[in-house]
């Protein structure tokens, strides 16, 4: 049976961890390095760092902050935000990242997925997909949810898989920050279609939501931010709950 992963996410803006609802109304959630250390100690399987305004502000990811976090953790570390080239990836890997995530750059130039996968290995490349369901159809969004496209979610997920990405991180903008659960129907559809792991993101509010993401959505990993940042759930408690419910997790 597949071991499921629990991944806290640090959404960073101006060097501080923030969290909002539906990608809006961001509020401070604490120091990124301190949170990273806390999650390391609680048993997080991985950590994801997203410089959420880097693409919109047309600048590069905060490399110095990435270095500080990497020096303090010993779990797989994924970094994203403003990454548009092989040079950007090199900087992040040299700064201590184990994997990088690309989003808007991949939609604008899908060939970059092939290029990065060939140069650094598929295991290093996570493609993040932000999508919103409008009138029953899931559409992909760019620049941290600011720019809509006409690209349909499942079509893009299949393309990402075919181009050599190692993983997909799917964030439902409809569910983000609502604490009402993940987009399990879309998750299940995606995991049935693609052959690579899918990380569920957006909507975690209680421990059952993680259980549902793994059973109803068939996600390989579940990501959350605010429930961990504000201590609504601890990772150690969540893993204990999931084990008791029959979900295989790393301890």
Q: Catalytic residue positions? A: 11, 130
Asked if 233 and 202 touch (Cβ cutoff 8 Å), the reply is no
E strands, 14-124, are 16-21, 24-31, 47-51, 77-80, 99-102
Query: φ and ψ at 68, to 5 degrees?
Result: -60, -45
Helix, strand or coil, per DSSP, at residue 236: helix
CB 170 within 8 A of CB 199: yes
Closest-CA residue to 60 (of 20, 38, 89, 22) = 89
Nearest C-alpha neighbor of 191 from the set 224, 151, 158 = 158
Angle at 167 between CA 221 and CA 99, to 5 degrees: 95
């Amino acid at each position: 049976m597949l071991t499921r992963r629990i991944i806290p996410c640090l959404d960073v803006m101006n060097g501080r961890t923030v969290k909002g609802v539906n990608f809006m109304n961001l509020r401070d959630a604490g120091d990124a390095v301190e949170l990273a250390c806390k999650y390391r100690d609680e048993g997080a399987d991985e950590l994801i760092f997203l410089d959420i305004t880097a693409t919109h502000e047309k600048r590069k990811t905060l490399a110095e902050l990435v270095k500080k976090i990497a020096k303090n953790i010993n779990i797989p570390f994924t970094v994203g935000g403003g990454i548009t080239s092989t040079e950007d990836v090199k900087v992040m890997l040299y700064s201590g990242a184990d994997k990088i995530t690309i989003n808007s750059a991949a939609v604008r130039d899908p060939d970059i997925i092939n290029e990065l996968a060939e140069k650094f290995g598929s295991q290093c490349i996570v493609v993040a997909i932000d999508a919103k369901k409008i009138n029953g159809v899931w559409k992909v969004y760019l620049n941290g949810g600011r720019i809509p496209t006409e690209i349909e979610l499942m079509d893009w997920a299949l393309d990402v898989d075919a181009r050599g990405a190692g993983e997909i991180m799917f964030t439902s903008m409809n569910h983000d920050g609502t604490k009402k659960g993940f987009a399990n129907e879309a998750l299940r559809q995606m995991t049935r279609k693609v052959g690579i792991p899918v990380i569920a993101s957006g909507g975690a509010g209680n421990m059952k939501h993680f259980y549902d993401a793994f059973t109803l959505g068939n996600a390989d990993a579940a990501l959350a931010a605010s429930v961990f940042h504000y201590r609504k759930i601890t990772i150690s408690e969540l893993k204990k709950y999931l084990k008791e419910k029959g979900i295989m997790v790393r301890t």
